[in-house]
């Protein structure tokens, strides 16, 4: 009896101490996969600085860059569960958790980056955000991640037949595996950090990414043909654990939201510049780039990927149509 009482008193004291701590100052931890100097890294550091500034130091954020706190699918789980508060995530690996967010991973769904942002800033973005929030992740703002294209170590890709038989690394998402299979290749889902070695040792023949990641990871050193398929235009979020955000005071909510929006503005500016410098850097080092004259056959091959997604999520057909009809 006494032991029980003691235990519950200690428990209550701990809860009070925690609550007191939370009310006075919160220390958050944030995850980011990218290296120093990468647009997202700079923008996440800016976010941390702005959060501290706008909350008068009542909320501070320690950023962990370079994926040091684990791979992306694990980090997404950590933020959903509240083991981490903040993350800069690509919507690719969020898709398997929130079907609404997976719509952005349908190949060729966006015409270009501007189209993607028009969708995100409208009803489509609200629907995606709602789906994510229901899974414990609130997107505070959207980052640019450009368009992803194929690269490999042996030849330029101009038609689906060039992908046939190739082992291609993709992010963890069945839509991407389906995409590679429909082109006749063999998909190999793998964590970002493992791709360089896999390309180098021939575990995979190729991969796909935007210019800045192709450059920052050194993949261009071991896979020197970059073919502008631009098959995926996937946004990224500055995401927060939903319970953490919902428990904030209105003033703190506004401060954190503002900081995220300002961080995204900076990220997009840096992104545009980095796309150009990364491209120039890899081309100067000898990478062979090719435009794909006719992307029609790649797009046509994606019909089964859309069908699979829509038959698993028939209620999301209006969202797909909304995106396709957004100008």
The answer to whether residue 90 forms part of the interface with ligand BDP (CB under 6 A) is yes
Which of 55, 152, 188, 209 touches ligand BDP by CB under 6 A? 209
Interface with ligand BDP (CB under 6 A), residue from 41, 105, 173, 213: 213
Select from 31, 47, 108, 192 the one that contacts ligand BDP (CB under 6 A): 192
Nearer to ligand BDP, 192 or 220 (CB): 192
Alpha carbons within 13 A on the beta-carbon side of 327: 0
Asked if 69 and 86 touch (Cβ cutoff 8 Å), the reply is no
Alpha helices in 55-145 (DSSP H): 72-81, 113-120, 123-133
Q: Which residues pair with 168 in a beta bridge?
A: 187, 206
Q: Shortest approach of ligand BDP to residue 217 CB, angstroms? A: 8
- Candidate segments 105-113, 124-132, 209-217, 278-286, binder of ligand BDP by CB under 6 A: 209-217
From the list 86, 109, 137, 145, which residue makes contact with ligand BDP (rule: CB under 6 A)? Answer: 145
Specify whether the CB–CB gap between 137 and 258 falls below 8 A: no
User: Closer to ligand BDP at the Cβ: 33 or 116?
Assistant: 33
Binding mask 55-74 for ligand BDP (x = CB under 6 A): -----------------x--
> What angle, rounded to 10 degrees, do the helices at 39-54 and 250-284 form?
160
CB nearer to ligand BDP: pick between 192 and 298: 192
CB closer to ligand BDP, 67 vs 125: 67
Q: Which residues contact 249 (CB under 8 A, 6 or more apart)?
A: none
In the bound state with ligand BDP, the residue whose beta carbon lies nearer, of 26 and 75, is 75
Least gap, CB of 33 to ligand BDP (angstroms): 5
Query: What are the structure tokens assigned to 224, written together?
Result: 């020197």
User: Interface residues for ligand BDP in 146-175 (CB under 6 A)?
Assistant: 171
Q: Whole-number minimum distance, CB 169 to ligand BDP, in Å?
A: 8
Q: b vs e for 107-138, b when ≥16 Cβ sit within 10 Å of the residue's Cβ?
A: bbbbeebebbbbbbeeebbebbbebbbebbbb
Site residue total, ligand BDP (CB under 6 A) = 10
Q: How buried is 290 (Cβ within 10 angstroms: 0-12 exposed, 13-18 middle, 19+ buried)?
A: middle
Q: Give the residues lining the site for ligand BDP (CB under 6 A).
A: 33, 72, 90, 145, 171, 192, 209-210, 213, 236
């Amino acid at each position: 009896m006494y032991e029980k009482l003691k235990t519950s008193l200690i428990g209550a004291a701990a809860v009070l101490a925690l609550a007191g701590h939370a009310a006075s100052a919160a220390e958050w931890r944030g995850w980011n996969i990218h290296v120093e100097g990468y647009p997202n890294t700079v923008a996440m550091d800016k976010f941390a600085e702005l959060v501290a500034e706008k909350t008068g130091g009542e909320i501070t954020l320690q950023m962990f860059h370079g994926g040091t706190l684990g791979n992306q699918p694990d980090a997404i789980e950590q933020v959903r569960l509240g083991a981490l508060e903040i993350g800069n995530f690509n919507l690719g690996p969020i898709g398997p958790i929130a079907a609404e967010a997976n719509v952005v991973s349908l190949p060729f769904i966006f015409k270009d980056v501007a189209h993607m942002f028009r969708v995100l800033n409208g009803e489509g973005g609200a629907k995606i955000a709602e789906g994510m929030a229901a899974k414990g992740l609130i997107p505070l703002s959207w980052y640019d991640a450009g368009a992803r294209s194929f690269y490999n170590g042996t030849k330029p890709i101009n038609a689906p037949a060039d992908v046939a038989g190739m082992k291609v690394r993709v992010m963890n998402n069945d839509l991407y595996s389906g995409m590679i299979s429909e082109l006749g290749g063999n998909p190999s889902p793998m964590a970002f950090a493992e791709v360089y070695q896999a390309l180098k040792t021939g575990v995979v023949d190729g991969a796909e990414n935007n210019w800045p990641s192709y450059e920052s990871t050194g993949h261009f050193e071991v896979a020197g043909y970059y073919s502008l398929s631009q098959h995926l235009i996937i946004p990224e979020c500055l995401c927060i654990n939903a319970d953490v955000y919902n428990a904030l005071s209105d003033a703190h909510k506004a401060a954190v939201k503002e900081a995220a929006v300002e961080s995204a503005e900076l990220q997009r500016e840096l992104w545009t510049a980095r796309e150009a410098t990364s491209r120039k850097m890899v081309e100067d080092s000898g990478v062979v780039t090719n435009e794909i004259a006719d992307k029609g056959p790649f797009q046509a091959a994606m019909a089964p990927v859309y069908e699979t997604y829509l038959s698993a999520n028939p209620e999301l057909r209006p969202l797909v149509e909304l995106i396709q009809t957004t100008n």
